Structure formats: C-alpha cells, structure tokens
Amino acid sequence: MRVLGALWKLNAAEELQYRANFVASFASTCFYLLTALLTLSLFFRHATSLGGWDFWEVVVLLGVFNALSGLVEAILRPGIGDLAAQVRSGNLDLVLSRPVDAQVFVTFRHIDIWRLADILLGLGVSTYALEHLGHFPNAIQIFAFFVTLVAAALVVYAIWVTLMSLAFWFVSVENIATLFDAVFEGARYPVSAYPTALRFLFFYLLPVAWTTTIPASALTGRLSLPTALASAGVGLGALVFSRLLWRAAIRRYTGASS
Amino acid sequence: MTAGVRIWARRYSALMRNAWMVDLQYRASIVLWIMWGVMEPAIALGIWWSIAGQGAVGGYTRTDFARYFFALTLINQLTIAWDSWYLDRWIREGDLNFKLPRPVHPVHEAIADNIAYKARSATVLLVIWTVVSLVWPVVRLPFDLKTIAITAAAVILAAMLRFLISFTTGLLAFWTTRATSIMELHAGISLFLAGRIAPLSLLPPVVAGIASWLWFPYMLAFPVDVLTKATTGHAILLGFRGQVIWIAIWLVLCRTAWKAGIKRYGAAGG
C-alpha cells in the first residue's frame, strides 16, 4: 500500500505538469457524451422505449457507462493495458523481481488522473437523468448501486486481465485492447434493447453489457434482490478468476525465460 | 506517355507489394481493427432491429436495416482511411524526413497502403457477408451487375474523398499537436451526417438538410444507398456530381496544406 501511495504521488506530480491535457480529455469526453445523447435522441425519434427503458432511464445507463469507461481509461488502459508491451520488451522482469505483489503493481502502476474526471462526469449525468425521471433512489438502492458498480468494475478488470494474459502465450497482441473497446461499445444500451443473437454475444460470450445494465437498474429501481446478489457473486468470482489466471500466466512467463 | 505509365505501374506495384508485406506482419491487428469496424454498425443494427419490430421505421423495415448496415460495414471498410494518424506520427516523430527525399512523393506510398489494406479487409468482409447470407437470407442482395458497377464507381470516389480528408487533416500536424483530435471530431460528426448510425432519411429534416450541403453524405451514405437501391435514377447523377465537387475542393485544400506545411517543416528543421 505504501509503495502504491508513493507511486501515485509521483504519478500525480507528473500529470499535473500537463494541465492542458485535462482540458483536452475533458472536452473529448463531453463531445463523446454529446454524440451518445444525440444518437439516443435519434433512436427515440422513432421509438418510445428501448427494450422497455425510456429515454432518461437510458441516459442514467449512459452515465454509468461513462463512469466505467473513465475507470478503464484512467487505470486499466495505462496499467494492465501496457502488459503486452512489458512482456515483449522484458520490462516485466523488473516488476517481478520487486518485493511487491506484481498483479497489484501492474494494475495500479500508472493512473491517468485526468480521466478520473470522467467517472464524476458520468455519475453527474446519471444524477441529472434521475432528476428528470423524478425518481430519487433510496438508501438501499444507492447501496445496491455501489455494490453492483464495484462488481461491474471487477468483471471489466477480469476481462482485461484475460485479454492481456494472452500476451504471455502470443507475443503479438499489441492492440488486443481494441477487442474490448469494440465489445464494450455495446454496453451503451440496456441488454433488453438487443435482439437475441447479439445478446448472446455480449452477455454470455463476453459479459460486458451487464456491467452497465445492472448498476443502472439499481438506480432506476428495476433491480431485483436475486440479480443484485448474483452480480455481487459474479464480481467476486471475476476477482478470483483474474487472480488465478494471473498466477498461471506468470508461471508460464518465468517458464519461458529460463 | 506509355513510358510514363509503365514507370508509374512499376512504382505502384513495388509500393503495394511492400504495403501488402507490411500488413502481413500485422495480421492479428488487422483482424482486430476489422472487428472494431464491424461492432459499431452491428450495435446500431441491433437497436434499429428491435425498434423496427413493431413495424417499419420511416419506410425502413427490419430487412432494409439489415441490408443497409451490411452494405455500410463493407463500404466503410472499403473507404476508410487511417492516414491522418500515420501522417500525424510521421510529422511529429520525424519519419517524414526519410520519406521526403525519395523519388516518389509520399502521397503515393499512402495511396498504395490504402489499396493494399482495403483489398485485404474488404475480402475478409465479403467472405463474412457471403457466409452470413447463407444462413440469414435477409441480408442477401439481388445480384445485379448494373448496380454493382455503379456502386463500385461511387465507392472509388468515396474512398478518394475520405483519403483526401484524412490526409489533409493529418497535415494539420505541421501546425498543431492535436491533428488526430480534429479527426476524431470529424468522425463524431460523420456518425450522423455520413449515415453511420442511421440512414440519412431517418435524421431530423433540418440535420439531413445541413448534411446535403456538406461532404459527409458522399463519404459513405451515398454509395450505401446506391448499393441498397435507396437512391435511383437522377439522384445517382446528383450524387456523383456531389462527390466530384467535394473531391476537387479537398484536393485543393490538401495541396495547399501540403505546400504550406512542407515550407514550415523545412524552416523548423533548418
């Protein structure tokens, strides 16, 4: 923990030098949100609901999506997203020889603090949309939201660990993160808005879309207790899975170099 | 004349062989980029498919949406140009220095890269489309030689237009470090105005009206509409006219930007 604290301090000092980047990243997020909202209003020009969700409910979900992708951009992409490059260049050796947990170190090594603003922006959008709905979630719903959001973040993390671990087996997976980006786009809309074939792809093969639908359901009061518990369970399972996969991958790595 | 043609044919075959070989090293990457290119229209199609479940939307039935987005995916892959990203890197990191003294203008290398990349990715997509249409008859298009010929012409012009836009935007890297952001902005606008998220006729009339005064529809929506036969007769001629006009405008912009940029670049280096 202390090691990470020191790392982050260094990291923050470094990033603070580039304040113009904040403006640029904030502007690009706002532009992205704007296009997403315009896309939604285009859909709603021709429909009254998407998979049973009305406009502002989908906006709540869009806020959750923005918060989660902020998390990806701030922590996962600069951290574990760099793993493939580390494996190829051999820099991973330096990490492994340190007296810290390598997985934690690789995950939190570099944080793009400006992108953390995306998380706040996303939650802001959700709050605004909830106000429009005239729905104020009670304490239990807010609690359920945070539990399911953490579970969602763990699922997303496990997907990243899985994709990046491929780097230990195949060296040339430089832009494998593109695969995540492509599929994660599907999480911008509620699960129920898709035809069955796509649902199968997004939700069972790569369980990405649930990561936004469930926390957003918690906020809008659609979430049932069994789903909430299941999602918490899946989140924990994802954490354990990522740990096991990491171990297997590292064993493979040390095996290859010796 | 014929000697000139022969020289250029030799140059291009060398450039394209080179580009093909370079791409061959990044097979996995290219598959990933194609997937990325397929997901966006697949998601849009998914949503429209659900919406059109209750009946046609603005004249578009589920089948029409499926055909529209399959055509869009293929034509997008055939016309997409990554040049602004490459140019941005060439200029910022100085790779351009090595390209400038060559006897062939760097733009030819970029064009050859584009042809090689598109030939490969479009072949992959055509195979996918064919396989899908075997099990999903909805996306079968009637085989009609005339439509295919007209579409091919529209696609070539659209590819030229998108290449010029991408190349010109990339040249902005001579002046700013945020050339790729400008390209992202352009891509964001093209989501709506080029028909990537929905057929143009489903946009609010005001927006569609604005689009018709700009180059966006000629990048993508026009060739897609030709292939799906949403645009027929006289409108096809108007579309070709729009494409040619906008290609001419962007060609002038591109040449101006190149000349001014190179002058500036030389000044910075010397």
What is the average pLDDT score of chain B?
85
| Partner A contacted by B33 (CB < 8 A) | yes
- Ranking A9-18, A120-129, A134-143 by mean pLDDT, the lowest is A9-18
Instruction: Select from A28, A181, A193 the Cβ nearest to the Cβ of B181.
Output: A28
Structure ipTM: 0.83
Burial zone of A90 (CB within 10 Å; 0-12 exposed, 13-18 middle, 19+ buried): exposed
Interatomic CA distance for residues A249 and A247, integer angstroms: 5
Q: What one-character-per-residue DSSP string does A96-138 give?
A: HTSSS-HHHHHHHS---GGGHHHHHHHHHHHHHHHHHHT----
Q: Give residues with Cβ within 8 angstroms of B47, minimum separation 6.
A: A43, A50, A189, A193, A194
pLDDT at A258 over 50: no
Is residue B105 within 8 A of residue B12, CB to CB? The reply is no
State the nearest Cα–Cα gap between A22 and chain B, in angstroms.
Answer: 13
Q: What is the per-residue pLDDT across A37-50, written as a single tens digit (0 to 9) for each?
A: 999 888 988 888 88
Q: Give residues with Cβ within 8 angstroms of A178, minimum separation 6.
A: B32, B33, B35, B36
- Quick one: how far is CA A80 from the chain centroid? 12
pLDDT recorded at residue B243: 93
Domain count, chain B: 1
pLDDT at A203 over 70: no
Average pLDDT over residues B138-146: 80
pLDDT at A256 over 60: no
Q: What is the per-residue pLDDT across B168-189, written as a single tens digit (0 to 9) for each?
A: 998 888 888 778 888 888 888 9
Three-state secondary-structure class, residue A53: strand
Q: What is the per-residue pLDDT across B225-249, written as a single tens digit (0 to 9) for each?
A: 998 888 888 889 999 999 999 999 9
If one counts every other C-beta atom within 10 angstroms of the C-beta of residue A80, the result is 25
- Say whether B58 and A185 touch across the interface (CB within 8 A): no
Confidence of residue B269 (pLDDT cuts 50, 70, 90): low
pLDDT recorded at residue B100: 79
- Say whether A175 and B197 touch across the interface (CB within 8 A): no
Q: Give residues with Cβ within 8 angstroms of B240, minimum separation 6.
A: B153, B154, B157
Confidence of residue A257 (pLDDT cuts 50, 70, 90): low
Q: Which of B24, B31, B32 to mutate to test the interface with A (most CBs of A within 10 A)?
A: B32
Confidence of residue B33 (pLDDT cuts 50, 70, 90): confident
- Say whether A39 and B197 touch across the interface (CB within 8 A): yes
Q: Give B207 or A85, the one with higher predicted confidence.
A: B207
The answer to whether the predicted template modeling score (pTM) of the entire model surpasses 0.80 is yes
* Parent domain of B99: 2-269
State the nearest Cα–Cα gap between A162 and chain B, in angstroms.
Answer: 16
Q: Residue type at B114?
A: N
Instruction: Select from B33, B38, B50 the Cβ nearest to the Cβ of A193.
Output: B50
- Say whether A46 and B57 touch across the interface (CB within 8 A): yes
The H or E element that residue B19 is part of is helix B2-25
pLDDT recorded at residue A254: 65
Interface list for B 149-188 with A (CB within 8 A): 178, 181, 184-185, 188
State the nearest Cα–Cα gap between B257 and chain A, in angstroms.
Answer: 24
